Copies of this chain bind each other. A is one copy, B any other.
Amino acid sequence: AAASAADENLYSDDATWILTSAFIIFTMQSGFGLLESGTVSPKNEVNIMVKNASDVLYGGLAYWMFGYAFSFGESPWSNAFCGLGQFFVDAEEAKMGWVFSKFFFQMSFATTATTIVSGAMAERTKLQAYMAFCVLNTLVFCFPSHWAWDNKGWLNKMGYVDVGGAGPVHLVGGVCSLMAMLILGPRHGRWDRDEAPPMGSPTNALLGMFMLWWGWLGFNCGSTFGITGGKWKLAARSAVSTITASMGGGIVAVVLSYVTKNQKFDISYLINGILGALVGVTGICALAHPWEGLIIGAVGSFVSCVGTEMMVKLRIDDPVGCFPVHGMCSVWAILAVGIFGHVDNLEGVSRYDGLLKGGGFYLLGVQTLGTVTFISWASIMSFILLKGIDKTIGLRVSLEEELIGADICEHGVGSPDDSPPPEFIEASGK
């Protein structure tokens, strides 16, 4: 979403690229849904798919009503802190081409940021509460995206670079996830045993990972916001660095699992390693050489896999690994721009050189400032919003509903085999 400089020259070829990319990005909703559905226990596999639909329904509506306005609104009142204008997005015929393309593309990012949190809250959150969260989370997302990407955004003006949204999408989503886990507490009985509950359907989880993998290519390549001028060259570089990152990440995850898990190839490691690598390269994708992508992905995967173990040690229950993958790896992603980034002569994606390219600590400093800002903002905002939902609607389902599972309780579907025997419910409910 290195959108700013390109807006004026946007025309039909660019719009095609943006729209096609947005379609591909929306397929990531299927991927997230399937990954989460395959990872949780079978008694919640349908409910989590519905939550992923809610991201688009409620999150999308909120982004249309006010999210885009605060992110990219172009009235004279828009400023360094937020955009203003274009609430309930609409446009005249003359302008609608680029307004609608940009809105549609940015909305695909906004709904992705919310999707991330659905995994963190899995298996113990009320659907009504999650729907309210989808609306409110747009408030958490839209200001950071203004700071990072809008021409008037204060981070953007300082030279902050974040091509595919490591900060506004993944770091904000990851921090909200962590806050949600802390407020919700662990699933009932999670820490009675050390190892994670078995995946409901590892095959579905892996298929979801595949869908995310290819969807990420749309995510990172579409973020050049077009193909005219030098943008197609940046898109091609994004494609390559994204795929080399996934290679580095997947291989590190396989080796880590083999070494630490008694020569087994852990499915969670593979999934979180590849996704952590993809998050890791998201910030710099259009600027990274293939070998840089490989290294950045390898580090991202390491962070993700070690982070997953850390969460267990810290007794924070993260059913699908949201925080390590999106929260921790996005910090790496943002800092990696400060290390490997360089001045971009094609489209001005970056105006400064990173640490290893002779630019000293300026860019790394700006990126660090961005990181600290996003973490602070997202943790405060999500704390307020989630506590507010908890006090009103209530975030967590009852113990009985948690034990029976959301599929039966909230949707009336699911085979009786999935539900625990009555005596277990009774015993646990004491």
A interface residues with partner B (beta carbon < 8 Å):
11-13, 15-17, 19-20, 22-24, 26-27, 29-30, 33-34, 37, 45-46, 49-50, 52-54, 56-58, 60-61, 64, 88-90, 93, 96-101, 103-104, 107, 127, 131, 198-199, 202-204, 206-207, 209-211, 213-214, 217-218, 221, 227-228, 230-233, 235-237, 239-240, 243-244, 246-247, 250-251, 254, 264-267, 270, 274, 289-291, 294, 345-346, 407, 410-414
Q: Which of B96, B346, B410 contacts A264 (CB 8 A)?
A: B410
The reply to whether B30 and A100 form a contact with Cβ atoms under 8 Å apart is no
Cα(A89)–Cα(B294), bound, Å: 12
CB of A15 within 8 A of CB of B206, answer: no
A131 touches B254 (CB 8 A): yes
Q: Report whether B206 and A247 are in contact in the complex, using a CB–CB cutoff of 8 Å.
A: no
Q: When the two chains form their complex, are residues B19 and A239 in contact, meaning their CB atoms are under 8 A apart?
A: yes
State in angstroms the CA–CA spacing of A266 and B61 once bound together: 21
Closest to A60 in B: B247
Bound: A202/B46 CA distance, A: 6
Q: How many copies does the complex hold?
A: 3
Given A214-B27, A250-B53, A411-B265, CB of A16 within 8 Å of CB of B19? no
Contact residue among B97, B412, B413 (Cβ-Cβ distance under 8 Å from A233):
B97
The listed residue (B22, B34, B413) touching A207 by CB distance below 8 A is: B34
The contact of A23 among B45, B90, B218, by CB within 8 Å, is B218
Contact assessment for A266 and B411 in the assembled complex, using a CB-CB cutoff below 8 Å: yes
Q: Which residues of B contact A199 (CB under 8 A)?
A: 413
Q: When the two chains form their complex, are residues A100 and B236 in contact, meaning their CB atoms are under 8 A apart?
A: yes
Q: Report Cα–Cα, A250/B237, bound state, in Å.
A: 38
Q: Is the CB of A57 within 8 A of B411?
A: no
- Cβ of A88 to closest chain B Cβ, rounded Å: 6
The 7 closest A-B pairs by CB, nearest first: A100-B236, A97-B233, A12-B232, A57-B250, A30-B210, A49-B206, A46-B202
With a cutoff of 8 Å between Cβ atoms, the chain B residues found around residue A100 in the complex are 233, 236-237, 239-240
A407 and B346 alpha carbons, distance in the complex (Å): 48
On whether the beta carbons of B17 and A247 are closer than 8 Å, the reply is: no
Q: Are the C-beta atoms of A228 and B12 separated by less than 8 Å? A: yes
The answer to whether A233 and B93 touch across the interface, beta carbons within 8 angstroms, is yes
Q: Contacts A93-B233, A203-B204, A227-B12; is A243 near B53 (CB within 8 Å)? A: no
Instruction: Find chain B residues with CB under 8 A from A240 CB.
Output: 89, 100, 103-104
Contacts of A265 in B (CB 8 A): 50, 127, 410-411
The interface residues of chain B lying within 8 Å CB-to-CB of A101 are: 236, 239
Cβ–Cβ < 8 Å partners of A30 in chain B: 207, 210-211, 214
Task: Using CB atoms, name the residue of chain B closest to A407.
Answer: B202
Query: Which of A203, A204, A290 counts the most chain B CB atoms within 10 A?
Result: A203
Chain B, residue nearest A88 (CB): B291
Report yes or no: B345 in contact with A93, Cβ–Cβ below 8 A.
Answer: yes
A-B contact pairs, 27 of them (CB 8 A): A12-B228, A12-B232, A15-B235, A16-B16, A16-B17, A16-B227, A20-B20, A22-B217, A26-B213, A26-B217, A27-B214, A33-B206, A46-B203, A46-B206, A49-B202, A50-B267, A53-B206, A53-B209, A53-B274, A58-B247, A60-B247, A61-B247, A88-B291, A90-B290, A100-B239, A104-B239, A202-B411
Known: A213-B26, A413-B202. A251 touches B61 (CB 8 A): yes
Chain B residues lying within 8 Å of A46, measured Cβ to Cβ, are: 202-203, 206, 267
Q: Is the CB of B24 within 8 A of A251?
A: no
Q: Which one of A29, A98, A294, A413 has the greatest number of beta carbons of chain B within 10 Å?
A: A413
With a cutoff of 8 Å between Cβ atoms, the chain B residues found around residue A230 in the complex are 93
CA distance A156 to B218 in the complex (A): 33
Are B203 and A45 within 8 A (Cβ)?
yes
Chain B residue, CB-CB nearest to A229: B12
Across-interface contacts of A64 in B (CB, < 8 A): 244, 247, 290, 294
Partner of A413, one of B98, B267, B411: B267
Is there an interface contact between A210 and B53, defined as CB atoms closer than 8 Å? yes
**Cα of A230 to Cα of B12 in the assembled complex, Å:** 9
